């Protein structure tokens, strides 16, 4: 039911910034206080308690920079780079190219596997696609045994950080696979590998 979505529960748009989420949470909590006039005669006390619990649940997810993108993907909402006010984010995701955003939205609520590879790939694009799926860098480090330092270098387009290009290519391949992308295409299109 659409009214059960967290955004509807907090009475905000899916594009709401994190500050707007916070304000909405405070307002909705106020609305469902036991002495609130606005709910008087519409709901019984036990119903108001349920509504209040829903508000808490929604806020717990939507205020969490990791959980919210995951929730968005699962429910087919717009991804975070489109939010009203990126500046509100404590950790601001890097700007992402149009293409990759489109891909993410295109896949909607389904789990993101076999993601189309954009014509141009760079660290920011990869990071965004990774975050959209709620995959942490440490998850990749754990699965691939690649150190965090090198994973961060991939996302920072920092080719010079690797002892040799062959290492970078090998790590990049594994990185790409662990976020559901065709590794050969990523290798071919990763800008920093071809620019110098």
Partner 1 sequence: MNVTSKAWVLRGGLVRVPLIQLEQRTSSAVERRPYIWAVASGKGGVGKSFVASNLGMALAKQGKKVVLVDLDLGSANLHTCLGIPSPKTTLSHIIEKNVSNMNDFIVYGHEPNLGLISGASDSLHVANLLHYQKLKIMRNLARIDADYIILDLGAGTNFNTLDFFLFADQGLLVVIPEPTSIENGYRFFKSILTRQLKDLPAKTKKLINQVLTEHKNEKGVARSFAGFLEDMEDLHPAHAHGIHKVLSRFKLNLIVNQVIEPSDTKLGAALSVMFRKYFDTPIYVLGYLYHDSHVLHALRQKQAYYAAFPQSRNATCLERMALEMVEQSASDLVDTVRLES
In the chain, which ranges are E strands?
none
DSSP string, 6-20: HHHHTT--TT--HHH
Q: 27, 21 in Cβ contact below 8 A?
A: no
Q: Does 143 bind partner 1 (CB under 8 A)?
A: no
47 or 66: whose CB is closer to partner 1? 47
N-terminal to C-terminal alpha carbon distance within the chain: 52
- Residue 2 interacts with partner 1 (CB under 8 A)? yes
**φ/ψ (deg, to 5) at 121:** -115, 135
Minimum CB–partner distance for residue 9 and partner 1 (Å): 9
Residue 43 as a binder of partner 1 (CB under 8 A): the answer is: yes
Q: What backbone torsions phi and psi does residue 64 show, to the nearest 5 degrees?
A: -100, 115
Minimum CB distance to partner 1 smaller for 8 or for 78: 8
> Is residue 36 at the binding interface for partner 1, with CB under 8 A as the rule?
yes
In the complex, the smallest distance separating the C-beta of residue 46 from partner 1, rounded to whole angstroms, is 7
The site for partner 1 (CB under 8 A) is made up of: 1-3, 11, 27-28, 30-31, 36-44, 46-48, 50-51
């Amino acid at each position: 039911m659409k009214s059960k979505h967290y955004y509807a529960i907090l009475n905000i748009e899916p594009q709401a910034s994190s500050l707007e989420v916070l304000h909405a949470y405070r307002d909705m909590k106020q609305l469902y206080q036991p002495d609130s006039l606005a709910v008087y005669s519409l709901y019984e006390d036990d119903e108001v308690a349920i509504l209040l619990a829903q508000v808490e649940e929604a806020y717990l997810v939507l205020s969490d920079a990791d959980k919210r993108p995951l929730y968005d993907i699962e429910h087919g909402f717009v991804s975070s780079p489109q939010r009203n006010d990126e500046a509100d984010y404590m950790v601001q995701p890097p700007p992402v190219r149009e293409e990759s955003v489109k891909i993410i939205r295109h896949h909607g609520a389904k789990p993101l596997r076999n993601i189309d590879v954009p014509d141009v790939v760079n660290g920011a694009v990869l990071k965004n696609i990774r975050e959209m799926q709620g995959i942490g860098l440490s998850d990749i480090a754990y699965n691939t045994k690649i150190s965090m330092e090198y994973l961060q270098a991939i996302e920072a387009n920092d080719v010079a950080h690797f002892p040799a290009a062959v290492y970078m290519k090998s790590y990049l391949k594994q990185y790409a696979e662990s976020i559901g992308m065709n590794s050969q295409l990523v290798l071919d299109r990763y800008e920093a590998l071809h620019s110098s």
